[in-house]
Amino acid sequence: MNPASDQNPMAMKIPFYALFALLIPLAHAQQPVAPDVLVKSITEEVVAILKKDKDIQAGDTKKAADLIETKVVPHFNFVRMTRIAMGRNWRLASPEQQKILADEFKTLLVRTYSTAISNYREQQIEYKPLRAKPEDTEVTVRSDVRPSGSSQPVSIDYEMEKTPDGWKVYDVKVGGVSLVTTYRDTFAGEVREHGVDGLIKSLTAKNRQPERSKAGKA
């Protein structure tokens, strides 16, 4: 039935139908970017900036953190990352505490990542073929990174989930070491000894410490 042929009040609805018709192809276009394509394009974009940016190369971690905030953070699910790191203790935290925890954990990871990328060296990245079915909502994007001058590649794997807002990373494994679960025992220990607030306090304190620059004593 063609609503446009009606010469009655139904005609009022024409713009609505028209809009709807417009949305259909748009919805199709909204089909999220494939997870491996997403990882690859973000990595390429960030690496291109790193290669050019003399400040970050010289150890400007603040600038590195800004870069990560704008380019990388939107593609991560920090709430889920925090939930994994908290394990069973996640349920002990109130919704407000959960929000603070996720924010502080995000800050810590961003700062860590900024330290890592300020050490950036020339490297070759090889992406492995994605082993996933089209209907999968959780996939692992695998890559091998070989820094120039090193014979042994390091694997970097991204654990990703499909959300209405596109694919999001919820864990990164470097050489098989999970960025998230490595915190589990530390978090559990803090909660056991000082409660959820104690964990929040030590995360906040850690995040207030000055950034460690390349030359920093460690």
Interface residues toward another protein, by CB under 8 A: 83-84, 87-92, 108, 111-112, 115-116, 119, 149-153, 155, 159, 171, 175-178, 180-186, 188-190, 192, 202-203, 206, 211-212, 214, 216-218
- Residue 32 vs 153, nearer CB to another protein: 153
Helix axes 35-52, 61-71, angle to 10 degrees: 150
Please count the helices (runs of H) and the strands (runs of E) in the chain: 7, 5
- Residue 137 vs 182, nearer CB to another protein: 182
- Residue 38 vs 199, nearer CB to another protein: 199
For the CB of residue 84, give the shortest distance to another protein in the complex, in Å. Answer: 5
For the CB of residue 124, give the shortest distance to another protein in the complex, in Å. Answer: 11
- Residue 6 vs 185, nearer CB to another protein: 185
Half-sphere exposure of 151 (CA within 13 A, CB side): 0
**Which residues sit opposite 166 in a β-bridge?**
163
Q: What are phi and psi of 213, to 5 degrees?
A: -85, 175
For the CB of residue 91, give the shortest distance to another protein in the complex, in Å. Answer: 5
- Residue 142 contacts residue 35 (beta carbons within 8 Å): no
- Residue 211 contacts residue 107 (beta carbons within 8 Å): no
- Residue 33 vs 123, nearer CB to another protein: 123
SS3 48: helix
At 137, the amino acid letter reads T
Which residue in 112, 126, 134 sits closest to 182, CA to CA? 112
Q: Is the dihedral of CA 94, 96, 97, 102 positive or negative?
A: positive
For the CB of residue 145, give the shortest distance to another protein in the complex, in Å. Answer: 13
For the CB of residue 35, give the shortest distance to another protein in the complex, in Å. Answer: 17
For the CB of residue 148, give the shortest distance to another protein in the complex, in Å. Answer: 9
- Residue 41 vs 112, nearer CB to another protein: 112
